[in-house]
A and B are shown apart, each in its own frame.
Chain A
Amino acid sequence: MATSNPRTPLPSRIVMAAIDMSVSGDLPLGIATSLGRVFAGFAFAAAIAVPLGLAMGAARAVERNVDPLIETFRPIAAIAILPLAILWLGTGTAAAVLIVAYAAFFPIVVNTLAGAKRIPPTLLRAAATMGLSRFTTIRTIIVPGALPAIGVGLRIGMGVAWTAIVAAELAVGAKAGGGGSGGIGQMMFIFYAYSIELNRIIVCMIAVGLVALLLDRGIRTGMRLLMPWGVA
């Protein structure tokens, strides 16, 4: 049978490969590199998308003028702009961070806007009647009201960001001839292309799944602790 071939994936071999890769530090390092890029890109995306979404929700003029741009670029998958990112920023961390930021931006801005627009108009009218300034209205009514929706956006954005980083690193690994810069996605591609090690590819896939799950659960728990009133 083919199971005598040491490359054929077997649960026992996958466990051995996982132990081996964890002890040697390759797997933790790869995950850490990818996570670092995800957090960097995610931070950029959130820093732009949340204020933009709030501004769009607070002022109709901003929404009307910015929304076409967002709706035009939203259907373009982050992976599709990867070739442009490589062209502009090379095959290193900068391109990966750009892809992550682009991917995470849209869910965050769309959800923030939806959250800001869902605030009961009576609250806004009451604020206007009581003479609150625009800034105070945003700070005391729109932000707290939109917070649960922002949380949902951040959670979805994080999921998309993690998928995007794996795709970006895979593609960079595939197209840069191995001259890329690490990360779990590239690690997988090297196990495919240069040393056909199916067991290790499967370990990486499981790791990708586990990290996705942990990120999602982490944000969920964080949101529940931060805003018990939310419905995220």
Chain B
Amino acid sequence: MADAAAVTAAVDAPRRRLASAAVYLRTMLVFVLLWWALAAWTANPALLPTPRAVAEALVELIGDREVFMHAGISLGRMLIALVVACALAVPLGLLMGTSPLLDAIIDPTVEMLRPISGIAWIPLALFIFGIGNALPLFIMTYAAFFPILLGTIAGVRQVDRRLVDAARTMGVPQRTILTRVVVPAALPALLVALRLGVASAWTAVVAAELIGAPSGLGYAVEWYRELLMTPQVMVFIGVIGLLGYACDRAVREVAARYTPWAAETRAMA
């Protein structure tokens, strides 16, 4: 019975995917038509360009590689910021999750800083770093740090005590317990944390680049707004959304691949 149902589901899967793609296209088509009508009614290309104008801007920006340049810069910054944030937050989270003493010492500072959003650091960071690469990197690292840290701590705490006790009974040294028992068991929670970190870093990069960077997607959006080239503004906004989605998707794929057993992974899918 169950097998038959599974087979039917597997056979139906492509068809269902096709159907949902069709629904997606239908909805977006309605959206584009409404947009077109509104643009025609406003008749002010600087205020609301037609979808056609935006499409032409997109082709043009792809043609002269400008989209790729800014997207590459923003993505590169995010990648560096994520690596730095993970390098700081994951070990710290492992320590805080395993040692109540360290947790008691560090947690008050974390709880004090956490409500101050990365964006609120922008003026001070502008003063310290000036306009350039360091500012968006700092803001993104800061924004990604807290979700990753809290996720790591929570992940470590929910590791089954019995696994750790069993390893200890068998005489496994403390460090090996950490790398071979705690980290694999906490991995699904770590990936959820990484996903939240990516989302918050990507939001922060746009804000940071908008205000204080000479390049990147956020900068490009603001640059074209000042030139009143609204189609280009919309292209870059679209690219920001698309890449944000792609990054999120990438983390989910990693989770599905490396931690397929975990409830967290299934909840994400």
Contact = CB atoms under 8 A, between A and B. Distances in A.
A58 B121 CA distance: 42
A129 B210 CA distance: 56
B27 A83 contact: no
Contacts of A69: 27-28, 31
Contacts of B184: none
A68 B27 contact: yes
Interface stretch (A21-29, A44-52, A74-82, A219-227): A74-82
B41 interface: no
Given A80-B221, A174-B211, A72 B241 contact: yes
A50 B207 CA distance: 28
B177 interface: no
B240 to A, nearest CB: 5
Interface in A168-227: 170-171, 174-175, 185, 188-189, 191-192, 196, 198, 201-202, 204-206, 208-210, 212-213, 216
A189 B23 contact: no
A132 interface: no
A65 B237 contact: no
Contacts of B221: 80, 83
B244 A189 contact: no
A192 B26 contact: no
B222 to A, nearest CB: 6
A93 interface: no
Interface in A46-94: 64-66, 68-69, 72-73, 75-84, 86-88
Nearest to A61: B23
Interface residues of B, number: 48
Interface string B229-268: 0100110011011101100100000000000000000000
Given A72-B241, A166-B120, A87 B233 contact: yes
Interface string B19-63: 010011011100100000000000000110000000000000000
23 contacts: A65-B23, A68-B24, A69-B27, A72-B28, A72-B241, A75-B244, A76-B240, A77-B240, A79-B218, A80-B218, A83-B210, A87-B228, A163-B117, A166-B119, A170-B119, A175-B226, A202-B124, A208-B117, A209-B113, A209-B116, A209-B120, A212-B115, A212-B117
